[in-house]
Amino acid sequence: MYLIAGLGNPGREYEMTRHNIGFEVIDYIADKYKVKVKKLKFKGLYQKTEIEGEETLLLKPQTYMNLSGECIRDFAAFYKIPPEKIIIINDDVYLDEGRLRIRKSGSAGGHNGLKSIIYQLKSDNFIRIRVGVGKKRQNEQELADFVLSRFTKEQIPLLEKAIVNAADAVSEIIKNGTESAMNKFNGDKPE
């Protein structure tokens, strides 16, 4: 079983913000597999489905970004899912809009949601799909304000393609492994 978790903040005021791109990817995957991520357990909205023949849990933690690890830890423990079968989808302010970076493990890279997950799982050995949401310009605004801002009209088509690519990357990881997904999707800007 795989656990696919998209990171974001709950609440209408955070919908369609840069920080919630993980939620957008989970919603897209759910639509693709004709399921709704609406069941509530362990402070998260979830739904089971099957992707590439594997039983899969789709998850949107409802704990706010900084505490995402609590929800993911509880799901992983309850369903006995090891870290290497957890795929986290999150925003990345160090990547241009729409670019993906897939990694098998590694540091949090300054992302508070990833910090929380590493702390709660006591491991950094989980897969992450980082979706570029644009680089914050020096001294223009605080990082917190930037990640909670919405995309411009010009950026939306690029991000929509990135959401599709991130969903495809999830399927590729499950079907052919993380290395294959890294070779296919890392660094490419959506066309």
* CB crowding 138-152: b at 16 or more within 10 Å, else e: eeeeeeeebbbeebe
Of the residues 2, 5, 18, 19, which is catalytic? 19
Cβ–Cβ under 8 Å, residues 137 and 154: no
- What is the SS3 assignment for the chain? CEEEEECCCCCHHHCCEHHHHHHHHHHHHHHHCCCCCCEEECCEEEEEEEECCEEEEEEEECCCHHHHHHHHHHHHHHHCCCHHHEEEEEEECCCCCCCEEEECCCCCCCCHHHHHHHHHHCCCCCEEEEEECCCCCCCCCCHHHHHCCECCCCCHHHHHHHHHHHHHHHHHHHHHCHHHHHHHHECCCCC
Q: Could you confirm whether 19 is annotated as catalytic?
A: yes
Which residues are catalytically annotated? 19
